[in-house]
Structure 1
Protein backbone atom coordinates (compact mmCIF):
# COMPACT_ATOMS: atom_id res chain seq x y z
CA UNK A 1 0.00 0.00 0.00
CA UNK A 2 1.32 3.42 -0.95
CA UNK A 3 0.43 6.51 1.01
CA UNK A 4 0.33 9.74 -0.96
CA UNK A 5 0.30 13.14 0.74
CA UNK A 6 -0.42 16.39 -1.06
CA UNK A 7 2.88 18.12 -1.89
CA UNK A 8 2.05 21.17 0.21
CA UNK A 9 1.65 19.24 3.48
CA UNK A 10 4.53 18.31 5.77
CA UNK A 11 5.35 17.92 9.46
CA UNK A 12 8.46 18.66 11.51
CA UNK A 13 8.76 17.72 15.17
CA UNK A 14 11.46 18.72 17.61
CA UNK A 15 11.91 17.71 21.23
CA UNK A 16 13.27 20.55 23.34
CA UNK A 17 15.03 20.09 26.68
CA UNK A 18 14.16 22.27 29.65
CA UNK A 19 16.83 24.78 28.74
CA UNK A 20 16.79 28.59 28.40
CA UNK A 21 18.21 28.21 24.86
CA UNK A 22 15.19 26.20 23.68
CA UNK A 23 13.40 29.26 22.25
CA UNK A 24 16.45 30.08 20.12
CA UNK A 25 16.63 26.50 18.82
CA UNK A 26 12.91 26.63 18.03
CA UNK A 27 13.31 29.91 16.11
CA UNK A 28 16.19 28.46 14.08
CA UNK A 29 14.11 25.37 13.28
CA UNK A 30 11.14 27.48 12.19
CA UNK A 31 13.36 29.65 10.00
CA UNK A 32 14.97 26.64 8.30
CA UNK A 33 11.68 24.82 7.71
CA UNK A 34 9.74 27.82 6.40
CA UNK A 35 12.59 29.00 4.19
CA UNK A 36 12.97 25.48 2.85
CA UNK A 37 9.27 25.25 2.01
CA UNK A 38 8.99 28.74 0.52
CA UNK A 39 6.75 30.14 3.27
CA UNK A 40 8.72 33.33 3.86
CA UNK A 41 5.55 35.45 3.93
CA UNK A 42 4.69 34.16 7.42
CA UNK A 43 8.23 33.63 8.71
CA UNK A 44 8.56 36.67 11.00
CA UNK A 45 5.18 36.15 12.66
CA UNK A 46 5.64 32.40 13.09
CA UNK A 47 9.15 32.85 14.47
CA UNK A 48 7.94 35.40 17.05
CA UNK A 49 4.86 33.44 18.12
CA UNK A 50 6.76 30.16 18.33
CA UNK A 51 9.36 31.84 20.52
CA UNK A 52 6.59 33.06 22.83
CA UNK A 53 5.06 29.58 23.23
CA UNK A 54 8.42 27.88 23.79
CA UNK A 55 9.50 30.54 26.29
CA UNK A 56 6.21 30.05 28.13
CA UNK A 57 6.85 26.29 28.25
CA UNK A 58 10.33 26.85 29.67
CA UNK A 59 9.14 29.34 32.31
CA UNK A 60 6.10 27.43 33.57
CA UNK A 61 6.90 23.73 33.09
CA UNK A 62 9.59 21.72 34.83
CA UNK A 63 10.26 19.19 32.06
CA UNK A 64 10.95 19.06 28.34
CA UNK A 65 8.79 20.51 25.60
CA UNK A 66 8.07 19.58 22.00
CA UNK A 67 7.57 21.74 18.93
CA UNK A 68 5.57 20.57 15.93
CA UNK A 69 5.22 22.46 12.64
CA UNK A 70 2.44 21.17 10.40
CA UNK A 71 1.71 22.50 6.92
CA UNK A 72 -2.01 21.96 6.48
CA UNK A 73 -2.19 22.77 2.76
CA UNK A 74 -3.40 25.96 1.09
CA UNK A 75 -0.41 27.84 2.61
CA UNK A 76 -1.71 27.30 6.16
CA UNK A 77 0.63 26.38 9.00
CA UNK A 78 -0.10 25.06 12.48
CA UNK A 79 2.51 25.38 15.22
CA UNK A 80 2.02 23.34 18.39
CA UNK A 81 4.04 23.38 21.58
CA UNK A 82 3.60 20.64 24.17
CA UNK A 83 4.89 20.90 27.72
CA UNK A 84 4.47 19.03 31.01
CA UNK A 85 2.41 21.66 32.86
CA UNK A 86 -1.34 20.91 32.48
CA UNK A 87 -2.46 24.50 33.27
CA UNK A 88 -3.93 26.31 30.25
CA UNK A 89 -3.00 30.01 30.61
CA UNK A 90 -5.18 32.94 29.60
CA UNK A 91 -6.10 33.75 26.89
CA UNK A 92 -5.77 30.14 25.67
CA UNK A 93 -8.29 29.02 28.27
CA UNK A 94 -11.03 30.87 26.34
CA UNK A 95 -12.64 30.00 23.00
CA UNK A 96 -10.78 31.37 19.95
CA UNK A 97 -12.03 34.63 18.49
CA UNK A 98 -12.06 36.76 21.60
CA UNK A 99 -10.42 40.13 21.83
CA UNK A 100 -6.99 40.38 23.42
CA UNK A 101 -7.07 41.69 26.99
CA UNK A 102 -4.28 44.16 27.63
CA UNK A 103 -1.73 43.30 30.29
CA UNK A 104 -1.55 45.69 33.23
CA UNK A 105 0.70 48.64 32.43
CA UNK A 106 3.08 47.84 35.29
CA UNK A 107 3.31 44.09 34.54
CA UNK A 108 6.78 42.76 33.74
CA UNK A 109 5.39 39.80 31.79
CA UNK A 110 2.08 38.51 30.47
CA UNK A 111 2.12 39.89 26.94
CA UNK A 112 3.53 36.97 24.96
CA UNK A 113 0.37 34.89 24.68
CA UNK A 114 -1.61 38.05 23.92
CA UNK A 115 0.71 38.50 20.90
CA UNK A 116 -0.19 34.99 19.77
CA UNK A 117 -3.88 35.77 20.15
CA UNK A 118 -3.54 39.04 18.25
CA UNK A 119 -1.38 37.80 15.34
CA UNK A 120 -2.47 34.21 14.77
CA UNK A 121 -5.48 33.41 12.62
CA UNK A 122 -6.57 30.62 14.99
CA UNK A 123 -5.20 29.54 18.36
CA UNK A 124 -6.09 27.27 21.23
CA UNK A 125 -4.98 25.13 24.12
CA UNK A 126 -5.77 21.60 25.21
CA UNK A 127 -5.10 19.97 28.58
CA UNK A 128 -4.09 16.40 27.84
CA UNK A 129 -5.14 14.88 31.18
CA UNK A 130 -3.60 12.20 33.40
CA UNK A 131 -0.40 14.12 33.95
CA UNK A 132 0.34 14.41 30.23
CA UNK A 133 0.66 18.21 30.23
CA UNK A 134 -0.87 20.56 27.67
CA UNK A 135 -0.69 21.55 24.04
CA UNK A 136 -0.85 25.20 22.96
CA UNK A 137 -1.15 25.87 19.24
CA UNK A 138 -1.73 28.55 16.63
CA UNK A 139 -2.38 28.70 12.91
CA UNK A 140 -1.36 31.31 10.36
CA UNK A 141 -1.98 31.68 6.65
CA UNK A 142 -5.75 31.58 6.72
CA UNK A 143 -6.42 35.30 6.39
CA UNK A 144 -3.75 36.93 4.32
CA UNK A 145 -0.43 35.66 5.62
CA UNK A 146 -0.88 36.46 9.29
CA UNK A 147 -2.33 39.91 8.74
CA UNK A 148 0.32 40.75 6.13
CA UNK A 149 3.01 41.10 8.76
Structure 2
Protein backbone atom coordinates (compact mmCIF):
# COMPACT_ATOMS: atom_id res chain seq x y z
CA UNK A 1 0.00 0.00 0.00
CA UNK A 2 1.37 3.40 -0.91
CA UNK A 3 1.73 6.01 1.78
CA UNK A 4 0.02 9.32 1.11
CA UNK A 5 0.86 12.72 2.53
CA UNK A 6 -0.06 12.81 6.18
CA UNK A 7 -0.59 16.57 6.09
CA UNK A 8 -3.79 16.25 4.05
CA UNK A 9 -6.95 15.77 6.15
CA UNK A 10 -8.66 12.40 5.86
CA UNK A 11 -11.52 10.48 7.44
CA UNK A 12 -12.71 6.89 7.20
CA UNK A 13 -15.94 5.32 8.46
CA UNK A 14 -16.70 1.66 8.93
CA UNK A 15 -20.06 0.10 9.77
CA UNK A 16 -19.70 -2.76 12.25
CA UNK A 17 -22.35 -5.44 12.82
CA UNK A 18 -23.15 -6.61 16.34
CA UNK A 19 -20.58 -9.39 16.16
CA UNK A 20 -17.78 -10.52 18.51
CA UNK A 21 -15.31 -10.19 15.59
CA UNK A 22 -15.99 -6.44 15.22
CA UNK A 23 -12.99 -5.40 17.34
CA UNK A 24 -10.65 -7.45 15.15
CA UNK A 25 -12.10 -5.95 11.97
CA UNK A 26 -11.73 -2.46 13.47
CA UNK A 27 -8.08 -3.11 14.43
CA UNK A 28 -7.23 -4.43 10.96
CA UNK A 29 -8.84 -1.43 9.30
CA UNK A 30 -7.12 1.02 11.65
CA UNK A 31 -3.75 -0.65 11.02
CA UNK A 32 -4.15 -0.27 7.25
CA UNK A 33 -5.33 3.34 7.47
CA UNK A 34 -2.53 4.51 9.79
CA UNK A 35 0.15 2.72 7.76
CA UNK A 36 -1.23 4.23 4.55
CA UNK A 37 -1.10 7.73 6.01
CA UNK A 38 2.33 7.50 7.59
CA UNK A 39 1.02 7.49 11.18
CA UNK A 40 2.43 4.11 12.25
CA UNK A 41 4.04 5.60 15.37
CA UNK A 42 0.54 5.76 16.91
CA UNK A 43 -0.41 2.25 15.87
CA UNK A 44 0.10 0.24 19.07
CA UNK A 45 -1.81 2.63 21.32
CA UNK A 46 -4.50 3.36 18.72
CA UNK A 47 -5.05 -0.36 18.14
CA UNK A 48 -5.39 -1.11 21.87
CA UNK A 49 -7.78 1.76 22.53
CA UNK A 50 -9.88 1.13 19.42
CA UNK A 51 -10.24 -2.49 20.45
CA UNK A 52 -11.41 -1.46 23.92
CA UNK A 53 -14.01 1.02 22.67
CA UNK A 54 -15.37 -1.35 20.00
CA UNK A 55 -15.48 -4.24 22.50
CA UNK A 56 -17.39 -2.02 24.92
CA UNK A 57 -19.87 -1.27 22.16
CA UNK A 58 -20.37 -4.95 21.42
CA UNK A 59 -20.74 -5.95 25.07
CA UNK A 60 -23.15 -3.22 26.14
CA UNK A 61 -25.34 -2.60 23.11
CA UNK A 62 -27.47 -4.95 21.07
CA UNK A 63 -27.26 -3.27 17.69
CA UNK A 64 -24.73 -2.25 15.07
CA UNK A 65 -21.86 0.15 15.65
CA UNK A 66 -19.93 2.61 13.54
CA UNK A 67 -16.20 3.36 13.68
CA UNK A 68 -14.80 6.64 12.40
CA UNK A 69 -11.12 7.59 12.16
CA UNK A 70 -9.85 10.99 11.12
CA UNK A 71 -6.67 12.99 11.08
CA UNK A 72 -6.39 16.29 12.86
CA UNK A 73 -3.78 19.06 12.97
CA UNK A 74 -2.23 18.23 9.58
CA UNK A 75 -1.81 14.57 10.41
CA UNK A 76 -0.17 15.04 13.81
CA UNK A 77 -3.24 13.80 15.72
CA UNK A 78 -5.77 11.03 15.34
CA UNK A 79 -9.37 10.93 16.50
CA UNK A 80 -11.21 7.61 16.71
CA UNK A 81 -14.90 7.53 17.55
CA UNK A 82 -17.37 4.69 17.97
CA UNK A 83 -21.14 5.08 17.85
CA UNK A 84 -23.49 2.39 19.16
CA UNK A 85 -27.19 2.02 19.95
CA UNK A 86 -26.95 2.15 23.77
CA UNK A 87 -27.46 5.75 25.03
CA UNK A 88 -25.84 5.09 28.45
CA UNK A 89 -22.44 6.79 28.78
CA UNK A 90 -20.16 4.40 30.73
CA UNK A 91 -17.64 5.40 33.39
CA UNK A 92 -15.17 7.02 33.10
CA UNK A 93 -16.57 8.68 29.94
CA UNK A 94 -19.49 10.04 31.97
CA UNK A 95 -17.13 12.59 33.58
CA UNK A 96 -14.91 15.23 31.97
CA UNK A 97 -11.25 14.39 31.22
CA UNK A 98 -8.84 15.25 34.01
CA UNK A 99 -10.89 13.97 36.92
CA UNK A 100 -9.30 11.19 38.96
CA UNK A 101 -10.58 7.72 38.25
CA UNK A 102 -11.55 4.98 40.65
CA UNK A 103 -10.21 1.60 39.53
CA UNK A 104 -12.40 -1.48 39.59
CA UNK A 105 -11.84 -3.89 42.49
CA UNK A 106 -9.08 -6.43 41.86
CA UNK A 107 -11.51 -9.36 41.65
CA UNK A 108 -13.80 -7.63 39.12
CA UNK A 109 -14.17 -9.38 35.75
CA UNK A 110 -14.63 -6.19 33.73
CA UNK A 111 -14.56 -2.43 33.82
CA UNK A 112 -10.91 -1.81 32.98
CA UNK A 113 -11.04 -1.30 29.21
CA UNK A 114 -12.29 2.26 29.19
CA UNK A 115 -9.91 3.13 32.01
CA UNK A 116 -7.11 2.16 29.61
CA UNK A 117 -8.53 4.65 27.14
CA UNK A 118 -8.62 7.32 29.84
CA UNK A 119 -5.03 6.60 30.88
CA UNK A 120 -3.47 6.25 27.41
CA UNK A 121 -5.36 8.76 25.25
CA UNK A 122 -4.37 12.42 25.06
CA UNK A 123 -8.04 13.41 25.06
CA UNK A 124 -11.33 11.49 25.22
CA UNK A 125 -15.03 11.93 25.75
CA UNK A 126 -18.52 10.69 25.11
CA UNK A 127 -22.02 11.99 24.60
CA UNK A 128 -25.52 10.72 23.98
CA UNK A 129 -26.82 11.13 20.45
CA UNK A 130 -30.31 12.56 20.44
CA UNK A 131 -32.83 12.47 17.60
CA UNK A 132 -32.25 10.31 14.58
CA UNK A 133 -29.79 7.53 15.32
CA UNK A 134 -29.92 7.74 19.09
CA UNK A 135 -27.35 5.83 21.11
CA UNK A 136 -23.99 7.28 22.12
CA UNK A 137 -20.63 8.24 20.71
CA UNK A 138 -17.35 7.55 22.56
CA UNK A 139 -14.15 9.05 21.18
CA UNK A 140 -10.46 9.42 21.92
CA UNK A 141 -7.54 11.34 20.46
CA UNK A 142 -3.87 10.53 20.22
CA UNK A 143 -1.16 13.09 19.63
CA UNK A 144 -0.92 16.42 21.34
CA UNK A 145 -2.03 19.54 19.48
CA UNK A 146 0.81 21.69 18.29
CA UNK A 147 1.09 24.83 20.39
CA UNK A 148 2.23 27.96 18.67
CA UNK A 149 4.18 30.44 20.74
CA UNK A 150 4.26 34.14 20.02
CA UNK A 151 7.29 35.98 21.30
CA UNK A 152 7.19 39.70 21.92
CA UNK A 153 9.99 41.60 20.26
Q: Scaled by the length of structure 2, what TM-score is found? A: 0.86
What is the distance in 2 between the residues matched to 1:29 and 1:140?
A: 17
Deviates more, 1:7-16 or 1:97-106: 97-106
Contact 1:8 1:73 in 2 (8 A): no
Deviation, structure 1 residue 7: 3.9
What is the distance in 2 between the residues matched to 1:7 and 1:108?
A: 42
What is the distance in 2 between the residues matched to 1:53 and 1:70?
A: 16
What is the distance in 1 between the residues matched to 2:99 and 2:39?
A: 27
What is the distance in 2 between the residues matched to 1:99 and 1:33?
A: 33
Tell me what 1:127 maps to.
Answer: 128
Gaps of at least 5 residues in structure 1 are 1-5, 145-149
Provide runs of 4+ in structure 1 moved above 2 Å: none
Q: If you compute each CA radius of gyration, which structure gives the higher value, 1 or 2?
A: 2
Contact 2:18 2:64 in 1 (8 A): yes
Q: Secondary structure at the match of 2:24?
A: helix
What are the equivalent positions in structure 2 for 1:1-149 lying under 5 Å apart? 7-74=7-74, 75-130=76-131, 132-142=134-144
Gaps of at least 5 residues in structure 2 are 1-5, 147-153
- Give deviations 1:72-95, integer Å, cap 9, x for gaps: 124111000000000000000001
Question: Higher helix fraction: Structure 1 or Structure 2?
Answer: 1
Q: Scaled by the length of structure 1, what TM-score is found? A: 0.89
